[in-house]
Structure 1
Amino acid sequence: MSFKPVFDESIFTPEAFVNHAKEIIRKDLPQFPVNVFPEKIRFIIEETNTNLMFPTDYISASILYAVSLAIGNTYKVEVLGGWKENAVIYLAIVGKPGTNKSHPLSFAIQPIVEKDKIAYRAYIRAKSEYDAIVAMSAKERKSEGINIPDEPKLNKCLMSDFTLEALATVHSNNLRGIGVYVDELAGWIKNFNRYSSGSEMEFWLSNWSGKPIISDRKSSAPINISNPFISVAGTIQNGILNELGRDNRNQNGFIDRMLFVMPSGIQMQYLSKKGISDEVTALYSTIITSLLESEPELDDYGAAVSNVLQFNTEANLLFEQWYNNNVDLINNCDDESLSGNYAKFNQHTARFALILQLLSYACGESDNNFINTNSVRGAIELTEFFRLNASKVHSIISNSNPLEHLPLDKQNLYKQLPDTFTTEEGVKIAESINIPERTFKRFLESKLFFDKVARGKYEKRY
């Protein structure tokens, strides 16, 4: 099966691509940009969409999460000297009840679930043998030349119902990294303060940033994980998105760390009788398993040591230009909540590039020596897709019109602008109320408030 690339070769220059990325922000993306994935993954997405009725946005984002977890602590990307990012993501799949949110995520993590099943069976066998040895008398062990071995530990990747103490213990047994999968994110977040006020929220803020996990509890052995990796994914209904913004979560940076997938027009589908072929399932399992088989080395202190990938020269230039463009968006954003969200995309984009590069490697389309330009291009597309979704969620959580967050002079200007206007017309209106031309043109660059419909012609979004 062949797929036509979305990008024409004529725009494969850093300057042209940054301009293209700017255009992406100005319009609603109908679907997840599937073209960023290798051909094998695009084929799997198409098959699950056609035969299992998985919404494209949901299965694509779910695969992104599964690849993040499959990479774990094996690799990091170095953006600059001292600035390294792992592949951790916090993903929220948003939709109405019955819109097939959970099944795509279950499909995507199935190879990891299978790995956990094998690990559990091995643990049960080892634990049974261990218990039998411990139950023997010292005389019996001596006569048979048996010493008490170390107690077996369960090495698992996924957790759904847990305390922070249990989570840290499981992670200490699997320094490669673990994933959290919760079918209802709202319930998970509601329980943040069930044991101690604020501590669980701080844990998840720190984990996303890669800060060490240090636990000293009387009830368990001390834990020190200097290189943690915990990715999170789950589903949430549109109607309870407001739960995410409570307890200051829309102000402390937690929401900024989330990646939301909230497509429009998703409806419950009729029963599909087609099903998916074993060949497609096997192909997907092979790709994810190839990433899972890699293990990080351990240093002299027993901490996981990640391989580090850097951008090649062209990719580095492209990322730098996108980064500077994002800084301009942040500096010109009048909504502090949104500007905080935009700032986190500097890290998200680097992580996306790492995920795409290693997924391409697992699919046999590239190497794992450097982050190349294709991966950075794809990362930028993912970022702008998630930026639009973040804006949608932000407006729901804040329960207000984004215009209300503007300074009064810009609110007044926005009201006086016609629904569609030219740059020249806008400048005249701005100057009539003592807003300089330069200030107006900076305001005009806000993709949250304006759509560019033609050269020099704009349309208000509210």
Structure 2
Amino acid sequence: MNMPNDPRRNAAEPNSKQPEPKGSHNEAASEGRPEDLHRPTASPPGSDASWPTSGPGSVSPAANSPVKTPQEWGEIDDFEKTNLPPFPVDALPEVLRDFVTELAIETQTPPDMAAMLSLAVCAAAIARKVEIHPRGGWMEPSNLFVVIIMGPANRKSQVLRKVAAPLVAREDHLIAAKRESIASEHTKRRQLEARLKSLEKVAGESPNNNKRDKAALDAKELAIQLSSTPIPVSPRLIADNITEEKLEQMLLDHGERIACFSAEGGIFDIMKGKYSSAGPQFDGFLKAHAGDRIVTDRMGRASVVVERPALTCAYAVQPQVMKAITGDDAFRGRGLMARFLYASPESLVGRRDVAAPAMSLEVAESYAACVERMASFDGELELRFSLDADIRLRKWESEVEEMLDVGGDLEYMQDWGGKLAGATVRLAGIIECVDSTFDESLLVGIRSLERAIQIARYAISHADAVLERPDSPSYDDAQYLWRWLRKKELRVFRRRDVYQALKRRFPEVKHIAPALSELCERNFLRVLPKVTGKIGAPPMEYEVNPCLLDGATRPQKSQNSVSSLSEGFEDVSNGGESEDWGAP
């Protein structure tokens, strides 16, 4: 039964003798007075006086309703089950550690991004030239596939440009050094081709048998000479968006090694078959990761044979890109997703320092010198493990095997986990090369392996978040709406008022309904009983779980969800414009 002073009784009983106070929310709504959603107020969050009552973007307080106790709400199904670990920067060699730390400060980005990209750059510098042989017939090439997942406005392009700069400078130097000789070789080849054409004409048309026979013999010798002389091309170390066919040709033209770096996700559209009617095209990528022989024969094109391809891939993409490809059976089923090391760091957008200090010149030069030293190594090296490193590797392999078993951390991503030991070996070899000079006596020591294992443990949690994320259609919208409700500290609200405030995100009321339903299913919200006695349909009203607002079981900001990066502190529906949401 309603108490005498219960406002809902007044609303439900039109003949009540208690007049509605002037300036109440109902009067304001009927008069349509615009009020600022962000106006300062001395009233406690959630009180009627603190809420705007009309106008675009306003939120009206719903009628008071009995509040459930925490016990009555039930268990909260949080969006963020686990907190993802930050990248173990201390596991990097000193030159990389200093570079990553200062670049993260300069760009105000998570160190994870610079760390993963710098490891990829070092891998590209020694790819194919260094092979890692842990024991027996086990061989791992030194190239890596890495992908960083972050939402818009996270300066992915800026970080990638800084990290890849030494390798780009190396490529520019090689192109400049070869420019004149390549031009000369092209001229010489064109002259030989013209001569061959002339000889073939004489051999086919001359009435003089001697001339015809001699021309035919000379043409044959010249044709053999041309076929055995490769067409000169400018040196390349890095590609961007590249088709499988072009990848294979570039591997053939550039010493069977190339790197593919990009801060966009277009490469995955190409792999999916953007330029092909035959569907997904990425066999060459798979083989170039493993170092398997590539043989391609196509009608009307010269055959391509690459004996030991070494492709390094490093991409920094938005969460929407990863959601599209992780849900594609071809990418997961054919093993492409299993080849990547993932990083899904927390966005700092909205909490970045302005005018952050720039990287010191000494640190930048040390990193550039390290990459140049690795890239300029011209020999080939088989890198083996020391005895203590081999013993430690066996223990790590056993641990990984247990994680792959039923109930283990890798049970549901055995495709990825099955390649984790090999990825660890690659990381250990790269780290050893960063710290050491190239020498036939060089061994992967236990220190480098321990560092690689630290990075591998980090990668497990992030791979789990990327490959096993929830895929509810309303998941992202529900997270967005929840952040907004937390920002406004609403305890009770009407659906129509929230819709009015978030029209940019939800153009129609029906678009916000699934997000509200998901929040109710997760016990973040509950639907309040409808108030009767008024003309027309009563508005939909919701109450926020007081536990979440009062902090008793407040969800902590986490990194484990890919979608949390896309919506964490930005409205991606508005072209990626940053909105300062503050702490969730």
Question: Could you state the TM-score of these two structures normalised by the residue count of structure 1?
Answer: 0.70
Return the letter of the residue paired with 1:360: D
* Cα deviation code 1:393-436 (max 9, x no counterpart): 12227559xxxxxxxxxxxxxxxxxxxxxxxxxxxxxxxxxxxx
2:398 corresponds to 1:324: yes
2:86 corresponds to 1:31: yes
Select which of 183, 188, 194 maps to 2:263.
Answer: 183
Give yes or no for contact 2:123–2:143 (8 Å, CA) kept in 1.
yes
Give yes or no for contact 2:236–2:258 (8 Å, CA) kept in 1.
yes
Q: Distance in 2 between matches of 1:164 and 1:341?
A: 22
Q: 1:128 to 1:336 in 2, by over 3 A?
A: same
Matches within 5 A, 1:101-250: 101-133=156-188, 151-175=231-255, 177-185=257-265, 187-192=266-271, 193=273, 194-195=275-276, 197-198=278-279, 200-248=281-329, 249-250=331-332
Q: Distance in 2 between matches of 1:224 and 1:132?
A: 27
Give yes or no for contact 2:144–2:312 (8 Å, CA) kept in 1.
yes
The equivalent of 2:459 in structure 1 is: 386
Q: Distance in 1 between matches of 2:283 and 2:130?
A: 25
Question: Could you state the TM-score of these two structures normalised by the residue count of structure 2?
Answer: 0.56
Deviation at 1:246, TM superposition (A): 3.5
2:104 corresponds to 1:49: yes
Give yes or no for contact 2:287–2:309 (8 Å, CA) kept in 1.
no
* Cα deviation code 1:158-198 (max 9, x no counterpart): 0113332222222112226210112223x211222232535
Number of residue-to-residue matches in the alignment: 356
Give yes or no for contact 2:110–2:346 (8 Å, CA) kept in 1.
no
RMSD over equivalenced CA pairs, Å: 2.9
Give yes or no for contact 1:353–1:371 (8 Å, CA) kept in 2.
yes
* Cα deviation code 1:43-73 (max 9, x no counterpart): 2222222333242111111111111101111
Q: 1:56 to 1:322 in 2, by over 3 A?
A: same
Select which of 350, 372, 378 maps to 2:445.
Answer: 372
Q: Which runs of 5+ in 1 are unaligned?
A: 1-25, 139-146, 297-305, 401-447, 449-462
2:342 corresponds to 1:260: yes
The equivalent of 1:351 in structure 2 is: 426
Return the letter of the residue paired with 1:254: L
Give yes or no for contact 2:132–2:429 (8 Å, CA) kept in 1.
yes
Q: Distance in 1 between matches of 2:325 and 2:360?
A: 38
* Cα deviation code 1:349-368 (max 9, x no counterpart): 11111111111115x9x996
Q: Distance in 2 between matches of 1:361 and 1:176?
A: 24
Q: Distance in 2 between matches of 1:59 and 1:200?
A: 29
Give yes or no for contact 1:361–1:368 (8 Å, CA) kept in 2.
no
Give yes or no for contact 2:102–2:358 (8 Å, CA) kept in 1.
no
The equivalent of 2:143 in structure 1 is: 88
Q: Distance in 1 between matches of 2:343 and 2:311?
A: 20
Please state which structure has a larger fraction of its residues in helix.
Answer: 1
Tell me which structure has the larger Cα radius of gyration: 2
Q: 1:198 to 1:284 in 2, by over 3 A?
A: same
Q: Distance in 1 between matches of 2:447 and 2:82?
A: 22
Give yes or no for contact 1:214–1:224 (8 Å, CA) kept in 2.
yes
Deviation at 1:373, TM superposition (A): 0.4
* Cα deviation code 1:115-173 (max 9, x no counterpart): 211222344323332344456687xxxxxxxx998642222110113332222222112
Give yes or no for contact 1:58–1:104 (8 Å, CA) kept in 2.
yes
Q: Which runs of 5+ in 2 are unaligned?
A: 1-80, 196-224, 474-559, 561-584
The equivalent of 1:40 in structure 2 is: 95
* Cα deviation code 1:221-271 (max 9, x no counterpart): 322111110010111112342111233123332212111111124325354
Range with bigger deviation, 261-270 or 162-171:
261-270
The equivalent of 2:563 in structure 1 is: none
Q: 1:197 to 1:246 in 2, by over 3 A?
A: farther
Give yes or no for contact 1:215–1:223 (8 Å, CA) kept in 2.
yes
Deviation at 1:202, TM superposition (A): 2.4
- Percent same amino acid at aligned positions? 19
Q: 1:78 to 1:333 in 2, by over 3 A?
A: farther
Return the letter of the residue paired with 2:238: L
Q: Matched residue of 1:241: which SS?
A: helix
Return the letter of the residue paired with 2:286: L
Deviation at 1:388, TM superposition (A): 0.5
Give yes or no for contact 2:105–2:356 (8 Å, CA) kept in 1.
no
Deviation at 1:215, TM superposition (A): 2.1
Give yes or no for contact 1:53–1:272 (8 Å, CA) kept in 2.
no
Range with bigger deviation, 279-288 or 238-247:
238-247
Deviation at 1:85, TM superposition (A): 0.2
Q: 1:367 to 1:277 in 2, by over 3 A?
A: farther
Q: Distance in 1 between matches of 2:189 and 2:404?
A: 61
Range with bigger deviation, 385-394 or 244-253:
244-253
Q: 1:127 to 1:310 in 2, by over 3 A?
A: closer
* Cα deviation code 1:195-233 (max 9, x no counterpart): 253562322222222211112234543221111100101
Return the letter of the residue paired with 2:151: K
Q: Distance in 1 between matches of 2:440 and 2:318?
A: 39
Give yes or no for contact 1:95–1:262 (8 Å, CA) kept in 2.
yes
Deviation at 1:279, TM superposition (A): 2.8
2:381 corresponds to 1:307: yes
